[in-house]
Each structure stands twice: as structure tokens, then as C-alpha cells.
Amino acid sequence: MISTKLYNGLLCRHRCCRQIYYWYLLENLRHHSSLISNDEATDLPSHISKLVLKHPSTAASAAASLASTISSSFPSTSLTPSVVNAVLKRLWNDGPRSLLFFRSLLRLPSVSLSPSSFDHAVDIAARLRDRLSLRFLLSARLAAGLPLSHRTFSLLAERFAAAGKPDRAVRLFLSLHHHGIRQELRTFNSLLDVLCKSRRVRKATSLFKTFKHRFGADAITFNILADGWCRLKHTGNALDLLKEMVESGVNPTLATYNILLKGFFRSGQVNEAWQFFLQMKKRGRKMGSDCLPDVVSYTTVVHGLGLAGQIENARKVFDEMISQGCLPSVATYNAFIQVLCKKDSIQNALMVFEEMLRRGYTPNVTTYNVLIRGLCHGGEMERAMELMQKWMVRDERCRPNVHTYNIVIRHWCEKGETEKALELVGRMNEGVDCLPNLDTYNLVISRMFERRRSEDMVVAGRMVMEMVQRGYLPRRFMFNKVLNGLLLTGNQAFARDLLRMQDKFWRLRRDIRL
């Protein structure tokens, strides 16, 4: 594989640059095509996803024909729960097709579906607010002899909260016994967590007061509520809760302290965070390892100090943890690399990245995303693309995700390089890594208005159609903008097609109900 850098070097020194360019392209292509053919042979989920994406219809009645295509293309023994889950994950951003795939599997009696696959499908239907599919999936699950699980409850509660219906989540909890799920502390904690993560901390607190005598309360209950207050930047309430926790006879855990530590940084109380961290070290030395900072505490401090602009102090803490025998994790490196990119320099961030590789750490998708974002912010788009290319070739197991694509697409759009952004969207639509999500569509469609060209309006119109087919609702403002753009540039027929799709929007605005 030849890097762009080497190619640029050769180009400057030699006169026969055209031959060298072809040689460069050929080598890259050869390398790439060998990768693709390996992929096809070994990566079953990718192969199945492509087949599902190519299927001509997404109507519920298309499940039978997809089932026969799948059964004639793959032996049923290859459709293991992990393969099924991997396909559902790849098709995550095309909800209707994910559900079509799942419905087709239900028609294949030789494929046994696991509770986690059902949960994935239920989660997708709930996200789409597709009440009919949701009912169908829940009854199909029961018919398959798989009772609803704790996980089913927590994902439904999460979707209710996200849809602005926290009371429905509470009602579901109160009626759990009708669905064969036990009401116990574990489920109660999940309900509180869903409410706190959706910023309904007061509601969670009032429920906690009502039910604490019925379900009890453990360290996890208090940690969930403390984290909820910290997310709202109400560290005072979190400290009060810590006091209440001790008074109730529940011992705080290291997670409790880490939640508060993060809370101080989040609310901009950097000095309080630092004093709290020193206190943790002091008490830890005196009373044992129960509150001695661990890798999570150190990562929180490195990240918090760095974001506050205290890069040298962050570096000292990073070095100190190693001398204290607490090894940094990939997350610690990611936090440090991110703050260097944001508050210091990309060069120093790249040096830490190289040090990470030298020490034998395996970077993950976040490491690459943080670095690629840093390069994009610094205007070094070519280096960002080079890193993405090298990464994908070097590490086949760690693939770019939707964030990776959105970072690069956003920056190409900002630079006015629309074609490059569209090329990446095209690569996403191949279904190898991940499909575009709502952010991708919003980004690219907004960009299509910059050049005021008729062709761009058609591209924007096609994207609106595609996003609706994949279960994403465009904002009314954007929809009208695309419609006006098409009308003003003489694309009346297309505008009419788009208008006809509006009734589909209404069908998508359904509510979740059990």
C-alpha cells in the first residue's frame, strides 16, 4: 500500500508523474479489491445487509419473498443470533428494512431467534413509533415461548421517555406483572435511570420517595439519582443525596465518588473537582482502596482539567497515574488525545497517539474519531482522509461508524467540497459500515442549497425521499425549502412526487402504545 504522502513526494521529484499516479492508483486499488473480496467471503452480516438493502420492496408483504431469497442464499445454520444481531445493527439507520429482515426470519422455522434479537427489533419498532409492528413483535415473541425480559422493559421505557412520555414509562413499570416481568429493585432502578438520563430527575426523586419502602434502595439507586442531579449541574443536590445515602446506611462506592467528580467538572467547578480528587486520594490511603482513585477517576480528571484549558496539569495527572500503578485505558488515551486536539495542538495529540501504539494499546473507533475531528478542525482535511484510509486498511475489525462519516462529511460541506461529501454518503449507502442517519441527511441536504443549481435540488429531493423511506422525518422547514427549491428550478414533476409522500410523514408520526 502506498501512502498519499509518499506519492506526493514522488510527484515533486520526478517528471514521469502521470505513470507514478497510475501506479499509485493501481496499487491502492489492488490492495482495496483484495480487501473487498476477503470481506465478501468472510463478512456474512455485511453480505446479508447488502441483500436486504437491495430487496425491491419494504412493504410488510415483502417479508415472504425476502425470506425465500435469504433461505436460498444462506444455510439456516449460518443465521446465528450473533449474525442476526450484527445485521440488525448494520441496518439500524434503516428501521423499516431492519424490521422487514426480522419479519422474514420469523417466516423461516429453521432459524431460531434469540431474546436479544427480539429486543433489537422491538427497539427499532418503538423508535419508529410503529405501533402495529411493535404489537406484532411482542406477540410473536410470546408465541415463540420467549417471555418479555427486564431488557425489553428498559428499552421501551427509554423510548417512552425519549418520545416525551415519561408517565407512560412509569405506567409500564406499574403494570409489569401483567407482562410477566417482576417488579423488583433492579427494574425500579432501571426506571429511575431512564428518567434521570432524560433529565426528569425531580420525577425520579418523587418516585424514589414513594417507593423506597416497597423496593428498598441500594448504592446503585443513589448513584443513579446523584448522576441525574450532576447531569443537570446541580452538584449541591447530589451532595445532599450522598449525605442521605450514608444516613440510610448505604455505603457510597467508588462509582459514587466518580459520579460526583465528573459532576463538579461538568458544572465548571474545577477547583471543587480538584479538591474532591485530593480528598479521594487522602481517604483512600487512610481507609483502603474503596475510594482510592481508579482508572475512571483519573480519566475524568485528565479530561476535566484538559477541557478547562489546564493542559500541563492534565499531563501531570496522566503521568502520575502510571507512577501510581494505575494503568491508563484506551478511554484515558482518548480523553487525553481529545483535550490536546481541542486545547493544545494536533501535533502533540498525534505524538500521544503514537506513544499509545508503541505501548501496545489497540485504538478504537473513538480514538480515530477524536483524531480525525482534530485534523478536520485544523483544516487538514487531506491528513484526516489519509488517517481514515490507513485505519480502514490496517484494522478490519474496527470500522468507521456514523460519527466518523458525519465528522468528515460536515467538514467537506463547510469547505464547499460537496462532491466529496456526496461520495462519502454513497460509500455509506453501500451498507458495508453504517447507513446515513438523521444528522447525515440534515447536513448534506442543507449543503445542497449553497450552489443554487437545479441538479442539486433533485439530489436534495431524492435524499428527502430516501430518509422518509428509512424512517426519518425531515423537519417541516427543510421539507418546504426542498419543495420550493424544486419548484423554482423547474422540477415540477419531482415536487409533485415529494408532495405525494407527505401522507407517509403522517403515518410515521404514530405514537408508541402497547
Query: Is position 366 an interface residue for DNA (rule: CB under 7 A)?
Result: yes
Query: Is position 150 an interface residue for DNA (rule: CB under 7 A)?
Result: yes
Please state the closest distance from residue 416 (CB atom) to DNA, in A: 15
Binding mask 112-141 for DNA (x = CB under 7 A): ----x--x----------------------
Count of residues of this chain found to bind DNA when the rule CB under 7 A is applied: 54
Q: Which stretch binds DNA (CB under 7 A): 32-40, 132-140, 148-156, 390-398?
A: 148-156
- Our CB check for DNA shows the closer of 220 and 349 to be 220
Query: Is position 425 an interface residue for DNA (rule: CB under 7 A)?
Result: no
Please state the closest distance from residue 378 (CB atom) to DNA, in A: 11
Query: Is position 199 an interface residue for DNA (rule: CB under 7 A)?
Result: no
Query: Is position 235 an interface residue for DNA (rule: CB under 7 A)?
Result: no
Q: Which stretch binds DNA (CB under 7 A): 20-28, 64-72, 160-168, 189-197?
A: 189-197
What is the number of alpha carbons within 13 Å of residue 96 lying toward its C-beta?
Answer: 20
Query: Is position 344 an interface residue for DNA (rule: CB under 7 A)?
Result: no
Strand, coil or helix: 51: helix
Rg of the Cα atoms in the chain? 26
Nearest to 105 by CA among 80, 131, 133: 80
Nearest to 391 by CA among 352, 437, 353, 345: 353
Please state the closest distance from residue 514 (CB atom) to DNA, in A: 19
Query: Is position 154 an interface residue for DNA (rule: CB under 7 A)?
Result: yes
Nearest to 273 by CA among 305, 310, 314: 305
Q: Which of 10, 51, 53, 185 binds DNA (CB under 7 A)?
A: 185
Please state the closest distance from residue 410 (CB atom) to DNA, in A: 6
Q: DSSP for 482-496?
A: HHHHHHHTT-HHHHH
Q: In the numeric block, which cell numbers belong to residue 126?
A: 418503538
C-alpha distances in angstroms, 209 versus 26, 113, 197, 232, 284?
Answer: 68, 40, 18, 20, 32
Q: Which of 267, 338, 418, 437 binds DNA (CB under 7 A)?
A: 338
| Residues with Cβ within 8 Å of residue 255, at least 6 apart in sequence | 219, 223, 296
Binding mask 428-467 for DNA (x = CB under 7 A): -----------x----------------------------
Residues in the chain: 514
Please state the closest distance from residue 155 (CB atom) to DNA, in A: 8
Q: Which of 17, 142, 295, 438 binds DNA (CB under 7 A)?
A: 295
Map the footprint of DNA across residues 7-26, applying CB under 7 A. Answer: none
Q: Which of 401, 432, 473, 478 binds DNA (CB under 7 A)?
A: 401
Q: Which of 60, 108, 254, 487 binds DNA (CB under 7 A)?
A: 254
Query: Is position 395 an interface residue for DNA (rule: CB under 7 A)?
Result: no
Q: Which stretch binds DNA (CB under 7 A): 205-213, 233-241, 322-330, 460-468?
A: 322-330
- Our CB check for DNA shows the closer of 51 and 478 to be 478
| Residues with Cβ within 8 Å of residue 332, at least 6 apart in sequence | 295, 298, 299, 302, 318, 321
SS (H, E, C) 387-443: HHHHHHHHCCCCCCCHHHHHHHHHHHHHCCCHHHHHHHHHHHHCCCCCCCCHHHHHH
Q: Which stretch binds DNA (CB under 7 A): 201-209, 223-231, 243-251, 269-277?
A: 223-231
| Residues with Cβ within 8 Å of residue 446, at least 6 apart in sequence | 413, 478
What is the separation of C-alpha 87 from the centre of its chain, rounded to a whole number of angstroms? Answer: 16
With left for phi above 0 and alpha for psi between -120 and 50, is residue 431 left, alpha or beta? Answer: left
- Our CB check for DNA shows the closer of 377 and 420 to be 377
Query: Is position 389 an interface residue for DNA (rule: CB under 7 A)?
Result: no
| Residues with Cβ within 8 Å of residue 409, at least 6 apart in sequence | 421, 424, 425, 440, 443, 444
Rounded CA gap, 69 and 51, in Å? 9
Rounded CA gap, 314 and 299, in Å? 10
- Our CB check for DNA shows the closer of 129 and 231 to be 231
Query: Is position 320 an interface residue for DNA (rule: CB under 7 A)?
Result: no
Map the footprint of DNA across residues 29-88, applying CB under 7 A. Answer: none
Q: What does the binding site for DNA look like in residue numbers (CB under 7 A)?
A: 116, 119, 150-151, 154, 185-186, 189-190, 193, 218-220, 223-224, 227, 253-256, 258-259, 262, 294-297, 299-300, 303, 328-332, 334-335, 338, 364-367, 369-370, 373, 376-377, 401, 403-404, 406-407, 410, 439
